[in-house]
């Protein structure tokens, strides 16, 4: 299991190690003082929070140093790619606050140039067509300590390889029948140099280039060259590409002269506890209906986090806190939750909502009277102002806020005990009514008219303060409460099927939640609120004129702060 590390490589100027490299290159006048990064997603799934870390690096560094960042779709495998993903990726990058302007590219733009380069390499005896099965090729690969074996087709005449490669592309052969390999060194200490595959046959039509191509370049033969064609100066990626770097440079040198080669720099991936980050696994969760879609608020996808109520600034704050290093790490989800809590604490309007309502009747309050109480919109923000909330004889309070036989430290409501109703009066419980099974159906209390909040006499103190909503004006809503998607800390490190590790209680739907009327009137998908004493909630896009739906973004209790004190 990956070790949990929060070590961050930043220097005194606050730059991370990648930014330090960029700064040095710029100061040394490399590439004519130009900075051009790129973000290269493969459109085979939705972006997740790990991609956000890469986006913030690629676009963020360009922003910081006055450079540019390209968006390039790495669309080299038509079997898995789709325009649905392309559109979703663009939406998510914009949501994070970045823009590629006129620098939108596709690796498929370079298929002709890459094909021409491959033909030239064949002619120069630097590539050959192999016709062994992938199993045979794998068996000849050797190990890091033992050399591999040459393919029997390695010395196929140049003209024959060229002819076969062209016929591969014309669709004459089935998938897997032939591959094009670089002729480098089957005994090389870097396994990636042992005659890597450059091209394979794929018959599935490509969503952009249709049936023009039947051979498609492998990542290693496409990525560096694409960077080169675009004039990318710093090609920033994740640590698993460290061993690919020499091959990246090897292929780029087939095109470049000495003056320019894009520089690959690697940083550690973002991994989150109680989450999986592999696109393959996320796709499986969606396809098998184990979540409600790519934007299910339990998913680590950017659209899922957005629907859950996460904000771009909270995600940036989190990425900034975990930093960019050279060590693989597993990041605590509590830290991400800390970031969103901090952000919403500053911005979310406070409202009164009762999620598990039980009726409380103030027997000494006039039956038809309604008073408007003044509630603070956000005590953290002096300019946020107040809104009005009706108070009446019958109100909803939380079932959990009443106990008939409370333990000593219970400072909420109990027979003969007093509490303050937030923004209203102090009340004293006088009794309860139960049904035949002994469940409490109504609570009775008397209010003290001299204790109205904000009025003279209101200074009298009691230990507990409860939130509430008046029954007559309350509006019913649905609230979706979420827990961790997985029940183990590091699902990717466990043996067996990851689906068996899903938390069966990750979604709890509450149908009978009572909102104060002021809130119900203004709900708009995506808006954030703090429900007093309960947590932060975000309006779900499923909301319609007569059915309001909220997602619980996060509770109020900061488990990260607790973690830090240990």
Residues within the interface to ligand ATP (CB under 6 A): 40-42, 44, 50-51, 53-54, 237-238, 269-270, 277, 279
Nearer to ligand ATP, 243 or 366 (CB): 243
Q: Which two tokens stand for residue 217?
A: 């370049």
**269 counts as catalytic:** yes
H-helix or E-strand containing 264?
Answer: strand 263-267
Dist CA 71 CA 42 (whole Å): 11
Please, which residues have CB within 8 angstroms of residue 404's CB and are 6 or more apart in sequence?
414, 415, 432, 440
Nearer to ligand ATP, 41 or 148 (CB): 41
Q: How far is the CB of 97 from ligand ATP (least distance, A)?
A: 17
Q: How far is the CB of 198 from ligand ATP (least distance, A)?
A: 18
Write the DSSP string, 280-314: HHHHHHHHTTSSSSTT-TTSSBHHHHHHHT--HHH
Terminal-residue alpha carbon distance, the chain: 22
In the DSSP assignment, the letter for residue 75 is -
Dist CA 212 CA 205 (whole Å): 8
Comparing CA positions, the residue from 303, 301, 305 lying closest to residue 282 is: 301
Nearer to ligand ATP, 331 or 553 (CB): 331
Question: Which pairs with CB-CB distance under 8 Å and at least 24 residues apart come from 78-83?
Answer: 78/202, 78/204, 78/205, 78/206, 78/207, 78/216, 79/202, 79/204, 80/42, 80/44, 81/42, 81/43, 81/44, 81/206, 81/207, 82/43, 82/44, 82/207, 83/43, 83/207
Q: How far is the CB of 315 from ligand ATP (least distance, A)?
A: 12
Nearer to ligand ATP, 77 or 506 (CB): 77
* Catalytic site residue from 263, 269, 307, 308: 269
**437 counts as catalytic:** no
Structural contact between residues 490 and 500, judged by C-beta atoms closer than 8 angstroms: no
Q: How far is the CB of 276 from ligand ATP (least distance, A)?
A: 11
Q: How far is the CB of 6 from ligand ATP (least distance, A)?
A: 15
**42 counts as catalytic:** yes
Summarize the chain as % helix, strand, coil (round to 5). 30, 25, 45
Edge-to-edge strand list for the sheet holding 440-447: 465-466, 418-421, 426-434, 440-447, 357-362, 394-398, 469-470
Q: How far is the CB of 151 from ligand ATP (least distance, A)?
A: 27
Comparing CA positions, the residue from 188, 202, 200, 201 lying closest to residue 247 is: 188
Nearer to ligand ATP, 270 or 315 (CB): 270
* Catalytic site residue from 5, 23, 30, 42: 42
Q: Which two tokens stand for residue 522?
A: 């203004």
Nearer to ligand ATP, 16 or 349 (CB): 16
Q: How far is the CB of 247 from ligand ATP (least distance, A)?
A: 16
> Nearest residue to ligand ATP, using CB?
50
Measure Cα distances from 50 to 206, 276, 282 in Å.
27, 10, 13
* Catalytic site residue from 279, 417, 420, 452: 279
Burial of 351 (0-12, 13-18, 19+ CB in 10 A): buried
Nearer to ligand ATP, 140 or 271 (CB): 271
Nearer to ligand ATP, 149 or 320 (CB): 320
In sequence order, the β-bridge partners of residue 426 are 420
Q: How far is the CB of 312 from ligand ATP (least distance, A)?
A: 16
Active-site residues, by number, are: 42, 269, 279
């Amino acid at each position: 299991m990956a070790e949990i590390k929060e070590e961050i490589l930043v220097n005194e100027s606050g730059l991370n190690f990648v930014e330090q490299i960029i700064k040095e290159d710029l100061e040394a006048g490399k590439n004519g003082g130009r900075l051009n990064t790129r973000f290269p997603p493969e459109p085979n799934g939705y972006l997740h929070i790990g991609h956000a870390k890469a986006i913030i690096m690629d676009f963020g560094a360009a922003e910081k140093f006055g450079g540019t960042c390209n968006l390039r779709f790495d669309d080299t495998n038509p079997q898995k790619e789709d325009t649905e993903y392309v559109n979703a990726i663009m939406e998510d990058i914009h949501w994070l606050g970045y823009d590629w302007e006129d620098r939108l590219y596709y690796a498929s733009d370079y298929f002709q140039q890459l094909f021409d380069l491959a033909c030239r390499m064949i002619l120069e005896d630097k590539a050959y067509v192999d016709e062994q099965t992938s199993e045979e090729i794998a068996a000849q690969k050797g190990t890091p300590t033992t050399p591999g074996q040459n393919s029997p087709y390695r010395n196929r005449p140049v003209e024959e390889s060229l002819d076969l490669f062209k016929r591969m592309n014309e669709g004459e052969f089935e998938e897997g029948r032939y591959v094009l390999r670089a002729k480098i060194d089957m005994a090389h200490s870097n396994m990636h140099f042992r005659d890597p595959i450059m091209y394979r046959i794929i018959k599935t039509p490509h969503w952009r280039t249709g049936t023009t191509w039947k051979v498609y370049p492998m990542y290693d033969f496409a990525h560096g060259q694409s960077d080169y064609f675009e004039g990318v100066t710093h090609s920033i990626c994740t640590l698993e590409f460290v061993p690919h770097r020499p091959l990246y440079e090897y292929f780029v040198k087939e095109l470049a002269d000495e003056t320019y080669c894009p520089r690959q720099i690697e940083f550690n991936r973002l991994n989150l506890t109680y989450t999986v980050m592999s696109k393959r696994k996320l796709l499986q969760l969606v396809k098998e209906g184990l979540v409600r879609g790519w934007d299910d608020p339990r998913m680590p996808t950017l659209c899922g986090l957005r629907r859950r109520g996460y904000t771009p600034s909270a995600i940036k704050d989190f990425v900034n806190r975990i930093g960019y290093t050279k060590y693989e790490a597993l990041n605590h989800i509590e830290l991400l939750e800390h970031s969103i809590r901090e952000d919403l604490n500053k911005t979310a309007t406070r409202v009164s909502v009762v999620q598990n309502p039980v009726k409380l009747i103030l027997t000494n309050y006039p039956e038809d009277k309604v008073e408007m109480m003044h509630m603070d919109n956000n005590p953290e923000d002096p300019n946020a102002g107040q809104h009005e909330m009706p108070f009446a004889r019958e109100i909803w309070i939380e079932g959990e806020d009443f106990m008939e036989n409370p333990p000593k430290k219970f400072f909420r409501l109990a027979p003969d005990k007093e509490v303050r109703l937030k923004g209203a009066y102090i009340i004293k419980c006088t009794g309860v009514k139960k049904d035949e099974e002994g469940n409490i159906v109504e609570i009775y209390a008397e209010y003290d008219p001299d204790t109205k909040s904000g009025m003279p006499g209101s200074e009298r103190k009691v230990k507990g303060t409860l939130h509430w909503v008046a029954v007559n004006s309350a509006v019913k809503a649905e609230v979706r409460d979420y827990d961790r998607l997985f029940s183990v800390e590091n699902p990717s490190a466990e043996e067996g099927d990851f689906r068996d590790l899903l938390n069966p209680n990750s979604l709890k739907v509450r149908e009978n939640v009572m909102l104060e009327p002021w809130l119900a009137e203004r709900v708009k998908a995506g808006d954030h609120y703090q429900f007093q004493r309960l947590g932060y909630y975000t309006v779900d896009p499923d909301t319609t004129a007569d059915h309001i739906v909220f997602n619980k973004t996060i509770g109020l209790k900061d488990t990260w702060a607790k973690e830090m004190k240990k």
